[in-house]
Amino acid sequence: MAEPRLLAANEARLAPRHNRGALSLARRLPQLVVAARQVASTVMHGVHGRRRAGVGETFWQFRPFAHGESTQRIDWRRSARDDRLYVRERELETAHTVMIWIDRSPSMAYVSDLAREPKLDRAITLGLAAADLLVRGGERVGVPGLMRPIASRGVVEKIAEAMIAQERVAPDLALAELPPAEPLPARAQALVISDLLSTPHDVGVAVAAMSGRGAHGHLVMIADPVEETFPFAGHTELLDVDSPARLRLGEAASLRETYLTRLAAHRDALAAIAGRHGWSFALHRTDRPASEALLALRIRLEGAGAFQHAGGGR
């Protein structure tokens, strides 16, 4: 069996470098925005505030009037139907900030015949759907290094516009594999959606920096099913997505176990990084529905304090 080897520069034709046109979002984003809203709608079962009394706009419940309270708080219409006085309580509405970062680097363009869509499209759909769901629940959403947190119902379109503008003005930043290594506000949460193929060291540096002021977050690893199984056999040539490098294998199937072992070790390292900083780590395959990942993500965000507006109906 021939040993795997990297081809020399004078042997290999120039491998297809990242095609900026292929990854350009200008044409695909309108469809991805629609898809994101549809995914968010399948997960959204109603919008309500945090179930605690406080200052807010949303009615929560009536409760009996307590001695010593201001009579201005009495709801006279409700009280007229009983022999007691009642106060109208509103729900506490304290918005959280969630910073969502979506990996748009060259490796995210990969798609196999087993996947529903490229990793990039799935990551964007999931990130925009999460933003839509969060804002519907009263939270603020921003993008690290790209857009300040806002609570606008048009957050999906604003993020899409910001990504398109960044591609035109700062393409290198648009293709970054990891979010900026900058601290987030102490009570903020981060949502990083990526194939996370960077080294564990680089991922660890980014997570540590974002957590510097006590912020917590969630790593969502997007994977194509082919990346999970390494189904190659026979003479195979693997191409790097953003360099001329190629790897030629004499019998690809013989490396499957080694590949799967290294992949498992890589993911264990990422999960350990997340755990050290109080973050969560999840894997999502592109042959599964996006709504499945969003539902699981919502559960994680609820546990960390966000998404509490977007729960079930009363």
> Tens digit of pLDDT for each residue in 188-199?
999 999 999 999
- Asked whether the predicted pLDDT for residue 94 surpasses 80, the reply is no
- Exposure string (b/e) for 68-82, b if CB count within 10 Å is 16 or more? eeeeeeebeeebeee
Band the pLDDT of 4: cuts 50, 70, 90: very low
Pairing between strand 86-92 and 59-64? antiparallel
Q: Would you say residue 92 has pLDDT above 80?
A: no
Confidence band for 206, pLDDT divided at 50, 70 and 90? very high
| pLDDT at residue 99 tops 50 | yes
- The pLDDT value given to residue 311: 39
> What is the tens place of the pLDDT at every residue in 168-189?
899 889 999 999 999 998 789 9
> Between these two residues, 45 and 137, which has the higher pLDDT value?
137
pLDDT over 60 at 10, yes or no = no
| pLDDT at residue 275, rounded to an integer | 95
Q: Check residues 105 and 15 and name the one with the higher pLDDT.
A: 105
Binned at pLDDT 50, 70 and 90, residue 45 comes out as low
Q: Which of 94-108, 132-146, 231-245, 289-303 has the lowest mean pLDDT?
A: 231-245
What pLDDT score does 13 carry?
A: 40
pLDDT average, residue stretch 137-144: 91
pLDDT in tens, 228-279: 999 988 998 887 776 778 888 888 899 999 999 999 999 999 999 999 999 9
Nearest one of 63, 139, 156 to 98, comparing CA atoms = 139
**In whole numbers, what is the pLDDT of the chain averaged over residues?**
82
Residue 203, judged by CB atoms within 10 A of its CB (0-12, 13-18, 19+), counts as: buried
Confidence of residue 289 (pLDDT cuts 50, 70, 90): very high
- Write out pLDDT tens, residues 104-131: 999 999 999 999 999 999 999 999 999 9
Going from N- to C-terminal start, the domains of the chain cover 15-48+95-304, 51-92
Percent pLDDT > 70 in the chain is 81
Backbone CA torsion sign across 265, 266, 272, 275: negative
Report residue 91's pLDDT band, with 50, 70 and 90 as the boundaries.
very low
Q: For 15-48+95-304, CATH number? A: 3.40.50
Query: Is residue 65 within 8 Å of 86, Cβ to Cβ?
Result: yes
